[in-house]
């Protein structure tokens, strides 16, 4: 069959005019012919049917131009033809999609595919060209070319868009997964109409006083024959086919109905969080629809929170920001679910107007290295506190985890330690039985100065901090330790440039003092906590190993934030070493002259 791969020069319909490959119809006929001619080879798996495409080919056409797109297709066609030159035929199915039928051993096939992928990665456009490949290895002799192509396409769908796994084989697992997907799609509408989607509620607790502070509504699919189907199984399929928006609106309505019922029964109720899929936020008018439902049930907006997942930011921040602004206008509190799981954590915190962060303990254990995970977790908690966000930790399974969270300043937990998600009646009873309390930010900023703006390099606060005030620092005081969070340039100058900013952060600040001076310093901090006013003191310290470098600093401090276990201070310093030395000199002279 190798002779079918020649580039055509005529204008016959048997060839693709752009790439010179044989036409799709011709290709399919040839495949059927080959199969009929070598049934034993086909049964023995000697042939492979490949299907491949170019990821986001339209973007290439858009960013560059159609000629560039065409050039890429010609490049691919000619490379495929030279790699699959013997006992193979290649065609372009349509646009950027190609198919190959080849007689080959597995190793040879993968070698060819790897070479193709390598050549593509070297392609000269300043844009990463990604191609994914589905492979069907023949086994049955009764499958027409079309059925083989379908199988290669199914295998392809399992890796499409995957930058790491570029090709996949068609296997029975692939078939089952796809069949499962088809089946779920086939029965989902009926399931919604016949109320098979049921809500379970998972309460959230304050680990300090064990009061309930909120709950999350989680959907369960209770199928009359198959029993409970877990959301992990159907949510991704609904997100793919768009049905998730219907389900989320339904869940939202059921939550409203439940809250109304509690209010009518005069049961004291806590806010309920409803999940909003990343797919939902692209649905025009979703926020308005939610609001109509809420009004229909006459539910106060403060009793519902909306949970958006951090992965929604991957498709760009604009859409999610717009959605959040819109629901904020109606008065909803917005939580960021699975915070820290997507790449965008820090960025999204800065640019999205969120109210509450949810951290998943999964990211601690997934690390494999618990130590690493706890460092990440505590820095995220500290950052969230500093920005004034309440934090809810979820997936908390044991007391050690909850105690650890408390030790880093986060007291709100959701997880099996306190309760699994439970059905409505059980949840209602839990609310009746336990105390209820509102959520508070992890750190209460008590100073008028807007401390949040310190994170914004362009803010007035930062400008003042960096340029106009003298030496200034912000630090956190906790369990007798003092950790510098931020110092300005003048601070470093003031202490004689003996230490860099990064070294400041590495040290326990109090280690620069001797015992006597340290005590004096801590006494000032304690006074400032007590008085909530500015307090001052003068102390000697040394930032170097050389005893000659002792300096005297006059500090003034003021509390700017308090959490359950730490206090944040704003600190101004002045180096008074020269004055002190001069004073000492005068005193010595006086003493000597007496
Ligand atoms: P999620 O929003 O992150 O929900 C938390 C998941 O963690 C829930 O799984 C919950 O049952 C589980 N979980 C709670 N405590 C623990 C614990 O201590 N240990 C462990 N290992 N797991 C715990 P679930 O209910 O299976 O939901 C899975 C995901 O399905 C949810 O993750 C959410 O992304 C999605 N989902 C569930 N209900 C809805 C819904 O109504 N709408 C949308 N769009 N998505 C939903
Ligand atoms: Ca959630
Ligand atoms: Ca979550």
- Of 234, 154, 590, 564, the closest CA to residue 391 belongs to 564
Q: How far is CA 184 from CA 252, 520, 557, in A?
A: 22, 69, 62
CATH architecture of 24-170: 2-Layer Sandwich (3.30)
Mean pLDDT value of segment 46-65:
90
Which residue puts its alpha carbon closest to atom 19 of ligand 1?
395
Mean pLDDT value of segment 586-590:
78
Q: Which residues surround ligand 2, an ion (CB under 5 A)?
A: 275, 307, 337
Which residue puts its alpha carbon closest to atom 42 of ligand 1?
275
Angstrom distance (rounded) from CA 360 to CA 376: 12
CB 238 within 8 A of CB 188: yes
Query: Which-ligand-closest: CA of 204?
Result: 1
The SS3 of residue 373 is helix
Angstrom distance (rounded) from CA 210 to CA 376: 26
Ligand 1 atom closest to 276 (CA): 44
| Amino acid 267: pLDDT | 93
Ligand 1 atom closest to 251 (CA): 41
Q: What is the DSSP string of 572-586?
A: EEEE-HHHHHHHHHH
Q: Is 503 exposed, middle or buried (0-12, 13-18, 19+ CB in 10 A)?
A: exposed
Which residues does a 6 A CB cutoff place in the pocket of ligand 1?
A: 202, 218-219, 230-232, 235, 244, 248, 251, 275, 277, 337-338, 394-397, 415-416, 421
CB 295 within 8 A of CB 268: no
Q: Residues with Cβ < 8 Å from 393, sequence gap 6 or more? A: 358, 359, 360, 361, 401, 402, 405, 410, 412, 413, 414, 415
Q: Mark residue 552 as left, alpha or beta (left: phi above 0; alpha: psi -120 to 50; beta: remaining).
A: beta
CB 268 within 8 A of CB 300: no
- How many Cβ atoms sit within 10 Å of the Cβ of residue 207? 20
Total residues found in the chain within this entry: 594
CATH of 179-435, one of 3.40.1440.10, 3.40.50.2300, 3.20.20.450, 3.30.1490.20: 3.20.20.450
In the predicted model, what is the mean pLDDT of the chain? 86
Which residue puts its alpha carbon closest to atom 15 of ligand 1?
415
Ligand 1 atom closest to 397 (CA): 18
| Amino acid 132: pLDDT | 96
> To which H or E segment does residue 14 belong?
none
pLDDT in tens, 469-526: 678 888 889 888 888 877 777 888 888 887 776 677 677 889 899 999 999 999 999 9
Ligand 1 atom closest to 244 (CA): 44
Query: Which-ligand-closest: CA of 359?
Result: 3
Which CATH code for domain 445-580? 3.30.450.20
Query: Which-ligand-closest: CA of 273?
Result: 2
pLDDT in tens, 337-387: 987 665 445 555 667 788 898 988 876 554 444 555 666 666 677 667 666
> To which H or E segment does residue 336 belong?
strand 333-339
| Amino acid 77: pLDDT | 97
More confident residue, 277 or 59: 277
- Of 80, 75, 357, the closest CA to residue 204 belongs to 357
SS (H, E, C) 484-496: EEEECHHHHHHCC
pTM (two decimals):
0.61
Q: At residue 212, what are phi and psi to the nearest 5 degrees?
A: -85, 135
Residue 388 has pLDDT above 80, yes or no: no
Angstrom distance (rounded) from CA 11 to CA 30: 20
Ligand 1 atom closest to 307 (CA): 2
Q: Is 292 exposed, middle or buried (0-12, 13-18, 19+ CB in 10 A)?
A: exposed
Ligand 1 pocket, mutate which of 199, 235, 290 (most atoms under 8 A from CB): 235
Domain ranges within the chain, ordered by starting residue: 24-170, 179-435, 445-580
pLDDT in tens, 103-129: 988 889 999 999 999 999 889 887 788
| DSSP classification of residue 436 | B
Lowest mean pLDDT among 74-83, 156-165, 458-467: 458-467
């Amino acid at each position: 069959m190798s002779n079918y791969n020649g580039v055509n020069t005529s204008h016959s319909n048997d060839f693709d005019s752009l790439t010179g490959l044989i036409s799709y119809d011709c290709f399919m006929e040839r495949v059927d012919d080959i199969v009929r001619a070598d049934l034993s080879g086909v049964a023995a798996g000697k042939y492979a049917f490949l299907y491949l495409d170019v990821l986001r080919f339209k973007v290439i056409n858009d960013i560059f131009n159609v000629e560039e797109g065409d050039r890429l297709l010609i490049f691919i066609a000619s490379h495929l033809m030279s790699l699959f030159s013997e006992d193979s035929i290649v065609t372009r199915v349509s646009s950027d999609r190609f198919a190959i039928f080849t007689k080959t051993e597995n190793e040879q096939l993968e070698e060819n595919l790897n070479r193709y992928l390598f050549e593509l990665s070297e392609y000269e456009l300043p844009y990463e060209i990604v191609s994914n490949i589905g492979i069907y290895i023949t086994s049955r002799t009764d499958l027409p070319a079309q059925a083989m192509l379908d199988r290669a396409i199914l295998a392809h769908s399992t890796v499409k868009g995957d930058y790491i796994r570029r090709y996949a084989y068609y296997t029975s697992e692939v078939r089952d997964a796809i069949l499962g997907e088809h089946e779920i799609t086939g029965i989902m509408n009926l399931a919604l109409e016949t109320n098979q989607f049921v809500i379970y509620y998972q309460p959230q607790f304050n680990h300090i006083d064990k009061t309930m502070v909120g709950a999350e509504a989680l959907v369960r699919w209770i199928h009359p024959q198959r029993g409970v189907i877990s959301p992990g199984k159907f949510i991704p399929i609904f997100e793919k086919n768009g049905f998730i928006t219907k389900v989320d609106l339904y869940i939202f309505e059921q939550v409203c109905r439940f809250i109304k019922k509690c209010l009518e029964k005069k049961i004291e109720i806590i806010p309920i969080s409803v999940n909003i899929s990343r797919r939902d936020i692209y649905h025009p008018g979703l926020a308005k629809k939610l609001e109509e439902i809420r009004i229909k049930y006459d539910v106060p907006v403060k009793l519902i929170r909306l949970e958006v997942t951090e992965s929604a930011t991957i498709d760009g921040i604009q859409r999610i920001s717009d959605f959040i602004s819109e629901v904020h206008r109606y008065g909803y509190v917005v939580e960021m679910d699975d915070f820290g799981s997507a790449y965008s954590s820090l960025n999204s915190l800065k640019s999205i107007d969120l109210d509450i962060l949810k951290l998943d303990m999964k990211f601690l254990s997934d690390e494999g290295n618990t130590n690493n995970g706890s460092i990440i977790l505590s820095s995220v908690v500290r950052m969230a506190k500093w920005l004034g966000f309440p934090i809810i930790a979820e997936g908390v399974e044991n007391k050690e985890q909850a105690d650890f969270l408390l030790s880093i300043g986060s007291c709100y937990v959701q997880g099996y330690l306190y309760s699994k998600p439970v059905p409505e009646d059980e949840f209602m009873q839990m609310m009746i039985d336990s105390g209820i309390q509102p959520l508070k930010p992890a750190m209460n900023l008590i100073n008028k100065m807007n401390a949040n703006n310190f994170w914004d390099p362009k803010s007035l606060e930062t400008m003042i901090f960096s340029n106009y005030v003298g030496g200034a620092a912000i630090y956190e005081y906790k369990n007798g330790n003092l950790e510098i969070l931020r110092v300005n340039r003048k601070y470093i100058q003031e202490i004689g440039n003996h230490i860099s900013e990064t070294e400041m952060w590495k040290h326990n600040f109090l280690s620069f003092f001797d015992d006597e001076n340290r005590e004096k310093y801590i006494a000032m901090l304690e006074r400032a906590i007590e008085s909530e006013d500015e307090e001052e003191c003068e102390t000697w310290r040394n930032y170097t190993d050389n005893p000659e470098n002792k300096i005297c600093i006059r500090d003034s401090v003021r509390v700017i934030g308090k959490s359950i276990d730490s206090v944040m201070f704003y600190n101004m310093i002045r180096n008074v070493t020269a004055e002190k030395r001069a004073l000492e000199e005068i005193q010595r002279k006086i003493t000597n002259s007496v």
